[in-house]
Amino acid sequence: MRDGEQGEEQDSEPGASSQQGFVRSALIFYGILGCVGLFWRMSVPGESILHPPGAGEPMMGILSAGALGVSLGLLAVGLSELMTRFSSLGEALADVLSEGLAGIGRADAILLAFASGIAEEMFFRGALQPAVGLFWASLAFGACHFLPRRELALWAVFAVAMGFAFGWLFLWTGQLVAPVAAHVVINGINLPRLAQRGAERVSRPADESDPPAR
């Protein structure tokens, strides 16, 4: 019995090490992305990455903007849940995304949610949008979520829509904290759930595996 337990531990170590490597690589990438956005915006004299260019005083305070961002994030999570439950394409998307997150702990998933939400908003909304405008920044955001796979097509479309929503929120509130809050809420809820979904799929017996995507 003891030998069997040791064997199971040894078999799980490569997977755990691989996931830790993925988390570290992702954190490094998001750190670089956030710094690029920050230094890009700092290169424009008199502008701040925290506010849209030429907007003057923000239309909302930080707390109000953050609360609005949280509300948008919760709405987006609700929409993604509906797509997962009531559409075969949404279910297939959740399954594919969960594959890459299987084995990631809840703490690491939440850490990735904060890192991705902050860094991507610093770059796409804080730096890119002032340079190219809402339309092109939103398309670029969606393009970065595009992969040539049928199950992931909905992900790119959803990303474009959320890019427009985040960008509009940035312009309307005058605070980068608003899209950051929305993005972090979405990832903070969805990433741990996807990681759990992936872990359950991996541990599911072969005869209980999901049928092919419809």
Instruction: Record the tokens describing residue 41, joined without a space.
Output: 């915006």
Residue 186: count of CB within 10 angstroms of its CB: 23
CA atoms within 13 A on the CB side of 114: 5
Q: Is 176 helix (H, G, I), strand (E, B) or coil?
A: coil
Residue 125: count of CB within 10 angstroms of its CB: 28
Instruction: Give the integer Cα–Cα distance in Å for 111 and 188.
Output: 8
Quick check: 134 pLDDT over 90?
yes
Phi, psi (rounded to 5 degrees) for 50: -80, -15
Binning pLDDT at 50, 70 and 90, where does residue 63 land?
very high
| pTM to 2 decimal places | 0.85
Residue 82: per-residue pLDDT: 93
Work out the average pLDDT over 173-178.
96
Instruction: Record the tokens describing residue 27, joined without a space.
Output: 């954190």
Residue 9: per-residue pLDDT: 44
- CA 90 to the chain's CA centroid: 16
The structure tokens 């992936």 sit at 198
The structure tokens 């019995």 sit at 1
Instruction: Record the tokens describing residue 141, joined without a space.
Output: 């955001």
Instruction: Give the integer Cα–Cα distance in Å for 83 and 94.
Output: 9
